[in-house]
Amino acid sequence: MSPRPGFVFETDHSSPATLFWHGEGFGLERLPAGARIIYPPEPVDPIQDPRTAIRNALENPLGASPPLSALLKPGMRLSIAFDDVSLPLPPMRRPDVRQLVIEAVLDAAAEAGVDDVALIAALALHRRMTEAELRHALGDRVYDAFAPSGLLTQHDAEDPENMVHLGVTSEGEDVEINKRAATSDLLVYVNVNLVAMDGGHKSVATGLASYRSIRHHHNVRTMQHSRSFMDQNHSELHSSNWRMGRLIAANGVKVFQVETTLNTDTFPSQFRFLERREWEWSARDRAAFLAASFAVDRAPAGTTRKVFQRIHSPYALSSVQAGEVEAVHAVTTENVYRQQLVDVEGQTDILTMGLPYICPYNVGSIMNPILVACTGLGYMFNMYLGKPLVKPGGVLIMSHPTPWAFNPVHHPSYIDFFEQVLPETTDPFKIEATYEESFARDPWYIHLYRTGHAYHGVHPFYMWYWCAHALDHLGAVIVVGGDPAAVRRLGFKPASTLTDALEMAEDVVGNHPSITHLHSPPLLLANVH
């Protein structure tokens, strides 16, 4: 049976309760009759033979690019950059798609007699990956062949000696990227496109760039003018990266882009109820839900977190394309849309959503309040084309425990941002103008970023900037079941139950509001007409 498309379901009195993520847990909530629920499309059929598909893509490139084998010559300098631990989410089961692609590229390089090969994890300002994470992404064969001799490196945006400034775009944006990548005869970028925002010129222009370069598009103005991040034609973030990417190409950096898309088969079978429509839950699904809920309610938070963080997704490759960056990305975006797009008629007064336990920046870690805000307002709110799902001045209701807790190893600057900046103001413009520079230049944060596993000092600011469009657009944000103090610190309103939250929302949008629920997982992209 071919996968069914997503659709909008209107609830009535007999509709079953609806699944809401609630961080490291989940629950069933009854939405009022007449509320809409947007259900995502089912996972598209995967490619049956990924290795062959990858080889075909490398040898049949898109755009004005010769096949990979024709680009590989003895004596050349080849760099292979790849997306970091932030993709995909949850991490996929072995073999990771990056391993499959990189092995195919290395096979071709070996056949062509290329000796000078280096691998670079494109971290941008993210934390460094652990050995286990690198092995998971690349496979043991690749890791053991390159890591011991120092040929597997992680991009360091704060290493001036290994960065090269390529110039300034027509909009005055500095373009400074990894020197090894920029000075290679060929840079192969291996990408995982989980959402439409990923990939394209953003891969190199952001993934291998410095703070000096990234700040030109990771700022409040750009974020507010990206409507949405998933719509290339209306995203300032996208435009800025495209200008930078073209400047990189104009400087002679030859990029061979390999982009992959995954289907939305996100959770293993024991959690399959998360992805099924509630009325299709079998006895097994209901038993699994009840058992999981029982266990989550009673287990210590640390244990629950460990269990969830160990989940490996059964994602499967749904497309792979290679060649010239823009031509490749156009096809990739179509494939992402094919998987995720759902047509929705009209906006809503109140948008409800459950937030999961994971976002791109807390793999192996806790989802702190700033990441909760970013996941809801930065990512989920922006999962639209056309118009936001919520009307201007509408209310966003998110379900998440929002614990006042941080991982000091991964998120040291987040702690200070939460304790020092947010009590003063939640206005992104004021935060940017007053505090960003001091956090970004702080030597201690830079040291932790370069030598430990910490996100860059400026990273919590970017998380807040991702929320800028939603904060500007919404009348109120309510968090159900969150730590009241943490929620208030974010400038949001806490509510104990969904019913309370809906009542509070009526104070903002008036009586008899329209309600829409974003049913996730898996991911969906609302095409709002």
Q: Is the dihedral of CA 59, 63, 66, 69 positive or negative?
A: negative
CB of 29 to another protein, least distance (A): 12
Q: Cα–chain-centroid distance for residue 496?
A: 29
Residue choice 141, 284, 286, 529 for contact with another protein (CB under 8 A): 286
Residue choice 172, 233, 283, 423 for contact with another protein (CB under 8 A): 283
Asked if 289 is part of the footprint of another protein (rule: CB under 8 A), the reply reads yes
Over the window 235 to 274, marking each residue x when it contacts another protein by CB under 8 A and - when it does not, the resulting string is: ----------------------------------------
CB of 93 to another protein, least distance (A): 18
- Which residue, 13 or 64, has its beta carbon nearer to another protein? 13
CB of 215 to another protein, least distance (A): 48
- Which residue, 286 or 441, has its beta carbon nearer to another protein? 286
Q: Concatenated DSSP letters for 452-484?
A: SSPPPTTHHHHHHHHTHHHHHH-SEEEEET--H
Count of residues that bind another protein according to CB under 8 A: 18
- Which residue, 17 or 409, has its beta carbon nearer to another protein? 17
Q: DSSP 3-state assignment of 8? A: strand
Contacts of 202 (CB under 8 A, 6+ apart): 237, 238, 241, 245
CB of 270 to another protein, least distance (A): 16
Tokens of 430: 């004021």
Instruction: Report CA dihedral (194, 195, 201, 202) to the nearest 10 degrees.
Output: -90
Q: Is the dihedral of CA 361, 229, 54, 312 positive or negative?
A: positive
Residue choice 33, 70, 132, 290 for contact with another protein (CB under 8 A): 290
- Which residue, 15 or 426, has its beta carbon nearer to another protein? 15
Residue choice 75, 148, 161, 279 for contact with another protein (CB under 8 A): 279
Pick the stretch among 261-269, 286-294, 315-323, 491-499 that binds another protein (CB under 8 A): 286-294
What's phi and psi for 498, nearest 5 deg?
-65, -35
Residue choice 29, 156, 265, 278 for contact with another protein (CB under 8 A): 278
CB of 278 to another protein, least distance (A): 6
Residue choice 93, 281, 299, 330 for contact with another protein (CB under 8 A): 281
**Which residue pairs from 140-145 have beta carbons closer than 8 angstroms and sit at least 24 positions apart in sequence?**
141/103, 142/99, 142/102, 142/103, 142/106
- Longest alpha-carbon distance in the chain: 71
Specify whether the CB–CB gap between 202 and 238 falls below 8 A: yes
Residue indicated by tokens 């020092």:
420
Q: Cα–chain-centroid distance for residue 216?
A: 20
Within 2-61, which residues bind another protein (CB under 8 A)? 4, 9-10, 12, 14-17, 28
CB of 346 to another protein, least distance (A): 18
Binding site for another protein (CB under 8 A): 1, 4, 9-10, 12, 14-17, 28, 277-279, 281, 283, 286, 289-290
